[in-house]
Amino acid sequence: MKRLALVSILFAGLATVASPAAATSIHVQVNTAPLIGNPAGPFFLDFALTDGSGTLAGPNSVVVSNFNFGGGTAVGAPTLTPGASGSLATSVTLSDAANGFVEFFQQFTPGSLLNFDVSTTNNVDPVQPDAFAFAILDKNLLNLPTTGLGDSLVLLNISRVAAFQAFSTTGSASAGVAASAVLLPEPGTLVLLGSGIVVALRRRAVRRA
């Protein structure tokens, strides 16, 4: 019975922590080891949100949070365009409600693995999707070349169902930096799973009794 209560509390807690406004959340992991001591540095993390319609229809906001630099660290102050706020020390927010192109970048010292989460609203732009892109910039504030669209490492098209892709770097200077992205569970999914487990454990307890 003690275990039952523990599981219930765990899932209730998870459901509470997850933001109810975020319709899509992904977790991103990037192998940044090839950048350690790389002469193309210092490097910068770059996040951009682009309005799809060009008319600011279907505005969306993106929150990037839970940064873990895997032995590295955030450095200095960020550069922000209107619609961007926050820093790598806490979290970054991008909103295209009033600006069609919103960008954030800030220097970081690479560690072995970079981890962070991305949460977006899912307002549908009626013309073409809004897009969130993540890239790493070199010391000249230019994207490291990648296999992705516009030299992105992660591209997330914001629609009713989020479609995202992760890529890796190309070129000799910074080869081997690879990103991966996985979908994070929605709060409703967690509650559902938690409820199922509680029921399963209760049945098991009843059988044992």
Residue 91 in the binding site for other proteins (CB under 8 A) = no
Q: Which amino acid is present at 203? A: R
What sign does the dihedral 145-95-157-115 (CA atoms) show? Answer: positive
What sign does the dihedral 135-140-142-147 (CA atoms) show? Answer: negative
CB of 68 to other proteins, least distance (A): 21
Q: Supply φ then ψ for residue 205, to 5 degrees.
A: -65, -40
Binding track, positions 37-66, relative to other proteins; x by CB under 8 A: ---------x-x-xxxxxxx----------
In the complex with other proteins, which residue's Cβ is closer, 116 or 167?
A: 167
Residue 108 to residue 206: CA distance in whole angstroms:
54
Binder to other proteins among 79, 109, 147, 159 (CB under 8 A)? 159
In the complex with other proteins, which residue's Cβ is closer, 31 or 152?
A: 152
Q: Is the link from the previous residue into 42 a cis peptide, with omega within 30 of 0?
A: yes
Give per-residue burial for 41-75: e unless 16+ CB within 10 Å, then b: bebbbbbbbbbbbeeeebbbbbbbeebebeebebe
CB of 157 to other proteins, least distance (A): 5
Residue 141 in the binding site for other proteins (CB under 8 A) = yes
In the complex with other proteins, which residue's Cβ is closer, 74 or 198?
A: 198
Binder to other proteins among 63, 135, 177, 179 (CB under 8 A)? 135
Residue 130 in the binding site for other proteins (CB under 8 A) = yes
In the complex with other proteins, which residue's Cβ is closer, 118 or 131?
A: 131
126: three-class secondary structure by DSSP = coil
63: three-class secondary structure by DSSP = strand
CB of 40 to other proteins, least distance (A): 13
Q: Which residues bind other proteins (CB under 8 A)?
A: 46, 48, 50-56, 100-101, 103, 126-133, 135, 137, 141-143, 145, 148-152, 155, 157-159, 161-165, 182-185, 189, 192-193, 196-197
